[in-house]
Amino acid sequence: MTRPDHRRRPLAAALAAAVLLLAAATACSKKDVDDDEEAAGPAVEAGGEVEGCGEGSWTDPEDLEPDREPARCEPGAPAPDPLPEETDVVITSGTLAAEFVAPIQVAIDRGEFEAENLNVTLRQVPPSDSLQLLGQGEVDAVWSAPEAGFVNGVDSGFDLRWVAGNYSTPPESRSGLWVHGEQGEEPDLSELEGRTLASIVGRGSVALYPVEQALDEVGLSLSDLDFRTLPAGDIVTAFENGQVDAVWLLDPLWTQLEDDPDAVWVAGQPPGEPLGGLIYGPNLLRDRPEVGEAFMRAYVRTINTYFAGDYKSDPEFVQYLAELIELDPALLESTPSLTMDWEIRAGSTDRFQEVFIENDAVRIDEPLPEDELVDRSFYEAVVGHTG
Amino acid sequence: MIENVPGREERDPAGTARRRTIVEVSLAVAVPVALFLWWQLASSWHYLDPRTHPAPSTIFSTAWDLVADGDLWSDTFVTMRRVVLGWVIGGASGIALGLLMGANRLLRKALEPTLDALYVVPKLALLPVLLTIFGLGEGPKVALVAITVFFFVWISTMTAVMSVAEGYRETGQAFGATRRQMFRHVLVPAALPAMLVGLRVAAGVAVLVIVAAEYIVGTDGLGYLIFNAHALGLNAEMYVGIVVVALFGVLFAELIRQVGRRLVPWAPEDRAAGRT
């Protein structure tokens, strides 16, 4: 009688498991594709005129003029329209100690969200994590930018929309691209070919869009440079020591180079074009759009009330802001007021995506259509724009 | 009367050892296969969100694309080079100082407090310092791996030398061994098994450290691949990087173990393996 070969049983089990694995992989691959969601249209509709928000409360998205006046209502407008019951909203930001987060912080501190019956919690979460949490409905909104991660998220099936802008930098700001050179002389950017460019943000950041624009003027692109990401604490030192040849610096880092005779500012954020802002996920886009509208109303009202103009001309407000966002008042005063702007320009996402595609930061060959990435209906509804 | 009937292990030691090896290898293969199977099904049936945790089949096809593009090879090669270089430098200096400090009490008393203090400093915290010393090239990353490996190997080597049984030393002295012969024929062979364990543990930690360093100041390497993919929301690519790092860590540690087995056949683990 032949005894069964027990030695082969474990191997056979392992092989059977491997076969099952492959079979399951084949059978299940279609299911993933079927789960892609169809692009949805605008989430909300305007209900009519809104008191305090007249003609200047909306500008044509096609207007890309650098001197365009940002949309504004009267201070205190649009008036609160509280939800029937208190509603919790969780919003995240990559950083809390930054001036561009001030409108959200002020809206919380001055009770603008409370007036809408919203209980808003602002949490610090890295943008890459927050977008995934947003897509899964774990958080309701993200204060960030439509970066490559956002485009890849939408492309992979997450229901995300950029619903409001944040700010553009004023002409006197020197936030942007700095290179070595003598003050007052026009640097030759074509000399940057093969040199090192450093930024605190990665290849998937919208900040690279203006860099690409500046390089494009001399026939270069980012792929012609050695791009590096460096920590905020090291980037200025690396530039001053000559370890990098160019840097992209945001507020307030650039102020460290302002008096450096060997540093020249070359280009900044395009005037009048916000590169970031508010991103909603499925909770506020589809499940509770009225909550998304209430949040937007509070945000727009906060800009009209506290950030409509040169808000840093009031020393008391600067002091208040500095304490609220935990920044040194002197540092806050060293940069000009941002031009807060809740609107989104037409074609911004196309231009961002072209840079992402060029820099291999997204896995698409053509830009996704704007209506799959942008929804202006929330801010248009709260200012009563029906056009 | 007590009758001692030999068991199967005694009647057929070679067959028993073979069967045990087969069972152990099967288990080592079956556990990760079962894990991947569960992952595949959980992702496909949406117990896991396939957008954030792609199925193994998606990860495999993404890895295939990355290999075809050449990106995965170059990132893997860059990380391997940094780890191996740092491991060799850190391991060699750790062994040298560990042997010297283990054998020389005065040197130990002089250096141990300082090295102990440096040992507890999180090695990643040294990266900014290394950046200012070595610049932005390969220097800071290789140095970081070398420093990390050094401490693991130094401690295990020094402890091993200090723990060499008094009987070994006395035997050496009884044979009239000189200081050099004692070092060469008694202390080093007795300490080698523990040194190799230190080198193997350090290999795993070296991989951990390089991944973190490549994330902070990288433009290439598996750490950069993982964290850049995460920042870009490319989760399948991120998982490819994680899987490759895990495979690299396992293979690197196994390579060191196998080399150690051949170099130090008297190590306890290998004697045990030999008995089966």
Per DSSP, A156 falls in state T
* pLDDT at residue B244 in the model: 95
Residue B68 sits at the chain A interface (C-beta within 8 Å): no
Q: For A214-254, what is each residue's pLDDT tens digit?
A: 888 889 988 888 888 887 878 888 898 888 999 998 877 88
* pLDDT at residue B37 in the model: 93
Residue B228 to chain A, least CA–CA distance (Å): 8
pLDDT at A29 over 60: no
Q: What is the pTM of this model?
A: 0.80
The ipTM, to two decimals, is: 0.74
Measured at the CA of B84, the angle between CA B245 and CA A226, to 5 degrees, comes to 75
Structure tokens belonging to residue A377: 């209906």
pLDDT at A37 over 90: no
B40–A136 C-beta distance less than 8 A: no
Please report which confidence band the pLDDT of residue A15 belongs to, taking 50, 70 and 90 as the band edges. low
* pLDDT at residue A11 in the model: 54
pLDDT at A30 over 80: no
Q: Which residues of A touch B43 (CB under 8 A)?
A: 28
CB A254 within 8 A of CB A243: no
**Touching B: A residues 173-212, CB under 8 Å:** 196, 202-204
Please report which confidence band the pLDDT of residue A290 belongs to, taking 50, 70 and 90 as the band edges. very high
pLDDT at A84 over 90: yes
Q: Are strands A167-168 and A339-340 parallel, antiparallel or unpaired?
A: antiparallel
Tell me the mean pLDDT per 10 residues along chain B, length 276.
76 86 88 91 87 91 91 93 96 93 89 89 86 84 94 92 86 85 86 90 92 85 92 92 93 89 75 43
For B24-62, the DSSP string reads: HHHHHHHHHHHHHHHHHHHHHTTSS-TTTS--HHHHHHH
B44–A31 C-beta distance less than 8 A: yes
Q: Which residue has the higher pLDDT, B122 or A142?
A: A142
Residue A228 sits at the chain B interface (C-beta within 8 Å): yes
B235–A156 C-beta distance less than 8 A: yes
For A249-306, the DSSP string reads: E-TTGGGGGTT-TTEEEEEESPTT----EEEE-HIIIII-HHHHHHHHHHHHHHHHHH
- Least confident span in A264-268, A302-306, B160-164, B267-271: B267-271
* pLDDT at residue A35 in the model: 45
Residue B53 sits at the chain A interface (C-beta within 8 Å): no
Query: A229: helix, coil or strand?
Result: strand
Residue A84, Cβ neighbours under 10 Å: how many?
Answer: 7
List Cβ neighbours of B88 (8 Å cut-off, separation of 6 or more): none
* pLDDT at residue A42 in the model: 83
Query: Phi/psi of residue B142, each to 5°?
Result: -65, -40
Per DSSP, B87 falls in state H
Q: Shortest CA distance to A169 belongs to which of A308, A93, A90, A268?
A: A268
Please report which confidence band the pLDDT of residue A62 belongs to, taking 50, 70 and 90 as the band edges. very high
Region A14-40: what's the mean pLDDT? Answer: 50
* pLDDT at residue A346 in the model: 96
* pLDDT at residue B87 in the model: 95
- Least confident span in A6-15, A312-321, A368-377, B179-188: A6-15
CB B95 within 8 A of CB B263: no
Q: What Rg value do the Cα atoms of chain A yield, rounded?
A: 24
Q: Which residue has the higher pLDDT, B7 or A5?
A: B7
* pLDDT at residue A2 in the model: 42
Q: Which residues of B touch A136 (CB under 8 A)?
A: 49, 52
List Cβ neighbours of A31 (8 Å cut-off, separation of 6 or more): B44
CB A223 within 8 A of CB A192: no
Q: What is the mean pLDDT of chain A?
A: 87
Q: For A154-186, what is each residue's pLDDT tens digit?
A: 999 999 999 999 999 888 888 889 999 887 777
CB B44 within 8 A of CB B50: yes
What percent of chain A shows pLDDT beyond 70?
89
A243–B33 C-beta distance less than 8 A: no
Residue A18 sits at the chain B interface (C-beta within 8 Å): yes
Q: How far apart are the first and last CA of chain B?
A: 31
Q: Which residue has the higher pLDDT, A352 or B133?
A: A352
In chain A, which ranges are continuous DSSP H helix?
9-34, 102-109, 127-135, 148-155, 208-216, 232-240, 282, 289-306, 315-324, 329-333, 348-358, 377-382
Residue A132 to chain B, least CA–CA distance (Å): 7
